[in-house]
Chains A and B, each alone.
Chain A
Amino acid sequence: MGEIISTREAYGRALCEYGENPDIVAFDADLTICTMSCYFAEKYPERFRNAGIAEANMIGMSAGVAATGKIVFCHTFAMFAAGRGYDQIRNSVAYPGLNVKIVGTHAGLSVGEDGATHQCIEDLSLMRTIPGMVVINPCDADETRAAVKAMIEYKGPCYLRLGRSGVENVTSSFEGYDFQIGKGITLKEGTDVTIIATGLMVQIALEAAEFLQEKGIVARVIDMHTIKPIDKDIIVKAAKETGAIVTTEEHNIIGGLGATVAEVLGETCPVPLIRHGVEDIFGHSGTAQALMVKYGLTKEKLVEKAELAISMKK
């Protein structure tokens, strides 16, 4: 079993590691020890500023620093980045195409006990509808580190979605794993159905595929770490070769990965598609694990969805 580590922790270490690049500047909105920007802040205090609990201004300041030629990472919870900061991200960052990387941590239900006000299940949707935004949702520590490197090399606005809870490191064990923005990764080959997963649902998808295997169903598993630009080729190939698709995400089934895949399939290669995720309902307080069960984000539910998708094949 791989190491258990949250993507925010892996992110904090990666930003610190790549932070030796003198053009990198970081802001946080009083959450450095939660978003883990604290590592960078401690090592490079001259290139870090705390914006206080004022996310709109933090995003605007990030745009201003980026307008002077720097690479800016700004941090807060996903809810207060993509939600509260939406207008600032759209108009001050994305419209002028500035090199700001918005890092939204504590995304999804797995924030846990803080409850619905802090459980952002709309950020992928909000961010991907902004023209020109890159939207990345890594599933584990190694993928997060690779994403940070790729974001630094990519010039332009990006949104990075991270989680609070520990997740198993799974991607490093796959031979030939190569992270590229906009390129999904086939983690398991299959012929009967394809599970396209993003974020911490990738690990659950791998478990579900094993479960299906025992039932004689060979499921393909795709790690879709980039929601935008979406990897159309890998989706179409999966649709043609397996004939049924299930998407799975720790996000509202409206607007996120499932919606993106539906758009691609509808316009290119319509096959049965079942969207697994949060079913247009707000979260609740509870442990992360209890919430995942309560809202059906489990391998058992995912297996049901896969079987449903297969049953819909003509």
Chain B
Amino acid sequence: MEKEQRNKLLALGMKIREQALKAVQAADSGHIGGSFSEADILAVLYFDKMNIDPKNPREEERDRFVLSKGHASPALYATLALRGYFPVEELKTFRNVDSDLSGHVEMTKVRGVDMSAGSLGQGLSAAVGMAVSAQMYKKSYRVYAMVGDGEIQEGQIWEAVMAAGNYKLDNLMLFVDNNNLQIDGTVEEVMSPYPIDDKFKAFNWNVICIDGHNPDAIADAVEHAKACKGKPTVAIAKTVKGKGVSFMENNVNWHGKTPDSEQYEQAFKEIRERIEELEV
């Protein structure tokens, strides 16, 4: 990847964080940590890799994305707004009683959202279903999904993983947002899912371990997945919860907590500075 493209995608990752944080600020509620850890993957998918058209969000041949960790909606809504599915100003209505932007991602109301999710463990099954449909009807679209590393404690995830391996869904790519934190602590403390890679291998998946904040690694993984035949691909993406804001990084308190006004100011300042650095 050219440096210019890399910096553009990194800047987009930061802009997603900026808009996600504005949404959470307006609502005084929402999930920042998991939004920030997934932001760079969303930037690469929506601004580089996915075959989509914001003007035709229901186009039958489009690639799909399912955010199974549906609580990390601020980042997905911000991504969709920045990509042109709906005005960025709408993000300020996040979680408002009269808004279409619910706390967890919602497909019937929000342009560009391919599947509603929120009850953890369910989105991956829907993504597998979309991939099955493409396989049955010989469609060429690809399906992307994202789960949290805490979310994979849900048994249904492994039912879906088993099915995707069994059906040989090479049109399916999953990202595990491996930020290592969940509400009650580190994932090891609460209920260790490790080793994650061996589990997927055992279910006949193509497994790639990447840095989830490196656009080159994310983009390469997507191409690697496209080239892999007869198996679904999982990219276990090492990420940092709260990535992009110094005092939020790797701090479990920022799963669902909202900052105070001083902290908002500091966070927006750090994000802005980084965007300016990247856009020089």
**A284 / chain B contacts, CB cutoff of 8 Å:** none
- The binding surface of chain A is classed by DSSP as helix
Question: Does A70 make an interface contact (CB < 8 A)?
Answer: yes
Band of interface residues on A: 20 to 34
Residue A56 contacts which of B123, B130, B155, B167 (CB distance < 8 angstroms)?
A: B155
A60 touches B156 (CB 8 A): yes
Question: Does A110 make an interface contact (CB < 8 A)?
Answer: no
**A97 / chain B contacts, CB cutoff of 8 Å:** 108
Question: Does A62 make an interface contact (CB < 8 A)?
Answer: yes
Docked Cα-Cα span, A56 to B108, in Å, equals: 22
Question: Does B170 make an interface contact (CB < 8 A)?
Answer: no
User: Among B113-121, B192-200, B222-230, which stretch is in contact with chain A?
Assistant: B113-121
Residue B115 contacts which of A54, A56, A67, A88 (CB distance < 8 angstroms)?
A: A67
Residue A60 contacts which of B122, B137, B162, B167 (CB distance < 8 angstroms)?
A: B122
Residue among A52, A64, A90 with max Cβ neighbours from chain B (10 Å): A64
Nearest B-chain residue to A91, judged by Cβ: B119
**A63 / chain B contacts, CB cutoff of 8 Å:** 115, 125-126, 129
Nearest A-chain residue to B143, judged by Cβ: A64
**B117 / chain A contacts, CB cutoff of 8 Å:** 91-92
**A61 / chain B contacts, CB cutoff of 8 Å:** 125-126, 128-129, 132, 160, 163
Question: Does B159 make an interface contact (CB < 8 A)?
Answer: yes
B159 touches A57 (CB 8 A): yes
**B108 / chain A contacts, CB cutoff of 8 Å:** 96-97
Residue among B64, B125, B155 with max Cβ neighbours from chain A (10 Å): B125
Residue A52 contacts which of B114, B118, B162 (CB distance < 8 angstroms)?
A: B162
Question: Does B127 make an interface contact (CB < 8 A)?
Answer: yes
Question: Does A47 make an interface contact (CB < 8 A)?
Answer: yes
B162 touches A88 (CB 8 A): no
CB distance from B58 to the nearest CB of A (A): 9
A69 touches B114 (CB 8 A): no
Task: Answer whether A57 and B130 are a contact pair too, CB < 8 Å, given A52-B162, A87-B119.
Answer: no
Question: Does A46 make an interface contact (CB < 8 A)?
Answer: yes
A residues 77-115 near B (Cβ < 8 Å) are: 87-88, 90-92, 95-97
Docked Cα-Cα span, A65 to B134, in Å, equals: 9
B159 touches A56 (CB 8 A): yes
Question: Does A49 make an interface contact (CB < 8 A)?
Answer: yes
CB distance from B78 to the nearest CB of A (A): 21
B129 touches A67 (CB 8 A): yes
Question: Does A51 make an interface contact (CB < 8 A)?
Answer: yes
Question: Does B133 make an interface contact (CB < 8 A)?
Answer: yes
Docked Cα-Cα span, A205 to B163, in Å, equals: 44
Nearest A-chain residue to B141, judged by Cβ: A68
Docked Cα-Cα span, A68 to B133, in Å, equals: 7
Docked Cα-Cα span, A54 to B163, in Å, equals: 9
A67 touches B126 (CB 8 A): yes
Docked Cα-Cα span, A64 to B66, in Å, equals: 10
A95 touches B125 (CB 8 A): no
Question: Does A201 make an interface contact (CB < 8 A)?
Answer: no
CB distance from A293 to the nearest CB of B (A): 39
Residue A64 contacts which of B106, B126, B167 (CB distance < 8 angstroms)?
A: B126
CB distance from B76 to the nearest CB of A (A): 15
Docked Cα-Cα span, A95 to B104, in Å, equals: 12
CB distance from B160 to the nearest CB of A (A): 5
B60 touches A69 (CB 8 A): yes
CB distance from B197 to the nearest CB of A (A): 21
A96 touches B125 (CB 8 A): no
Docked Cα-Cα span, A284 to B22, in Å, equals: 58
Question: Does B136 make an interface contact (CB < 8 A)?
Answer: yes
Docked Cα-Cα span, A137 to B26, in Å, equals: 47
**B191 / chain A contacts, CB cutoff of 8 Å:** none
Nearest B-chain residue to A95, judged by Cβ: B116
**A66 / chain B contacts, CB cutoff of 8 Å:** 129
Nearest B-chain residue to A70, judged by Cβ: B133
B residues 20-73 near A (Cβ < 8 Å) are: 60, 64, 66
Residue among A46, A52, A56, A62 with max Cβ neighbours from chain B (10 Å): A56
B136 touches A60 (CB 8 A): no
Give the 10 A-B residue pairs with the shortest CB-CB distance, closest first: A64-B129, A60-B125, A57-B159, A61-B129, A64-B126, A54-B159, A68-B133, A91-B119, A96-B116, A65-B129
Contacts A/B (CB < 8 Å), 11 sampled:
A54-B162, A56-B155, A57-B156, A60-B128, A63-B115, A63-B125, A64-B128, A65-B130, A66-B129, A67-B107, A70-B133
Further contacts, 12 of them, CB under 8 A, given A25-B133, A64-B128, A87-B122: A54-B159, A56-B155, A57-B160, A57-B162, A61-B125, A61-B129, A61-B132, A61-B160, A65-B136, A68-B129, A69-B60, A92-B116
